[in-house]
């Protein structure tokens, strides 16, 4: 597995990470714990060193899963987790709003360290920007945690360019995580140029469009009642039908490269910048191996031009999130 550095930081990780949310949360019922422990350990054996979780995934159960699975392999892995939500008092899935007050950040760090069975959090992201707390205060709280040895690196998720600059001036930001793929290209306008200028790494989540870009979902696919894609405007049957053109494009290139649409989607992301590290999620060994195969695929400049030219003619239908969640992105 190739390695990449997240920006100018000294944080080196596998070129492809593993997003772990779906093992516990959001994509239907939680997967079998023993199977997921086995999958996580297999990922390490296959060369993946970068694992992504968050307090809110479960809540708590995803961090606990990673703690149990990866603590015997601690010296071989980098674990990223996140703070920034006010969780429901009854412990049920979801959250009731943002909360990035400094005292809350510090409490989440203490709790996450215990659940993950680590001495320090490798990369600690603010999950969403909190409009009620100045980003300088957030960065300052994480800076103190870094000085105390409880956190190694600071990250932001779904933050806009101005917020990134303000945070970075207080505590250098190692990585920004946002949704980015061939059907979600918002970061290209301002965020990616800002990261390049400041020497910050970029971690695309949902690099396969929450499964859509694999080519395994169409307008007639039905999801489990607990699957959050049921709530997303981009996953209505009408939007899926309209967006099929993008999958068809990936399929055409994949055929030529003797690859799969998912592998082309990931290879396209890897080809954008050397400091980009996508984190596709899966609960299946076959998918994990398919995703890892993307790292070996070379897209030529002609391939990239073809993808760019063809995708520019395709209008993606549907917002990424319902309005309330959409308002929490790009602040």
Residues classed as catalytic? 57
Count of C-beta atoms within a 10 Å radius of residue 302: 8
**Strand 85-87 versus strand 95-98 pairing type:** antiparallel
DSSP state for residue 30 in the 8-state scheme: P
Contact between 42 and 12 (Cβ < 8 Å)? no
Given CA atoms 107, 277, 147, 125 in this order, what sign does their dihedral have? Answer: negative
Q: Rounded CA gap, 229 and 210, in Å?
A: 8
Q: DSSP letters of 209-231?
A: GGGGGGT---TT----TTBGGGG
Q: Which residues of 303-317 are buried (b: 16+ CB within 10 A; e: fewer)?
A: beebbeebbeebebb
């Amino acid at each position: 597995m190739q390695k990449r550095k997240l920006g100018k930081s000294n944080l080196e990780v596998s070129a492809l990470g593993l997003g772990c949310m779906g093992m516990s949360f959001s994509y239907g019922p939680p997967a079998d714990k023993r199977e997921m422990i086995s999958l996580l350990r297999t990922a390490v054996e296959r060369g993946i060193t970068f694992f992504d979780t968050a307090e809110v995934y479960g809540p708590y159960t995803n961090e606990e899963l990673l703690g149990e699975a990866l603590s015997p392999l601690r010296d071989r892995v980098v674990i990223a987790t996140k703070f920034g939500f006010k969780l429901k008092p009854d412990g049920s899935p979801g959250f009731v709003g943002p909360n990035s007050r400094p005292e809350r950040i510090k409490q989440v760090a203490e709790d996450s360290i215990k659940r993950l069975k680590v001495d320090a959090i490798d990369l600690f992201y603010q999950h969403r920007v909190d409009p009620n707390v100045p980003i300088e205060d957030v960065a300052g709280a994480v800076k103190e945690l870094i000085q105390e040895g409880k956190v190694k690196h600071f990250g932001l998720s779904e933050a806009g360019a101005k917020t990134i600059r303000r945070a970075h001036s207080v505590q250098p930001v190692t990585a920004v995580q946002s949704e980015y793929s061939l059907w979600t290209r918002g970061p290209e306008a301002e965020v990616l140029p800002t990261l390049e200028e400041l020497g910050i790494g970029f971690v695309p989540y949902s690099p396969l469009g929450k499964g859509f870009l694999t080519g395994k979902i169409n307008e007639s696919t039905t999801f489990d009642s607990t699957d959050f894609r049921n709530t997303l405007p981009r996953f209505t049957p009408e939007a899926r039908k309209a967006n099929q053109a993008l999958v068809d494009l990936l399929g055409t290139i994949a055929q030529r490269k003797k690859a799969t649409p998912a592998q082309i989607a990931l290879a396209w992301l890897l080809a954008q910048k050397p400091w980009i590290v996508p984190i596709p999620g899966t609960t299946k060994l076959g998918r994990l191996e398919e995703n890892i195969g993307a790292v070996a695929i070379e897209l030529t400049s002609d391939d990239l031009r073809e993808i760019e030219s063809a995708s520019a003619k395709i209008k993606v239908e549907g917002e990424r999130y319902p309005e309330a969640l959409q308002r929490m992105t790009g602040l």
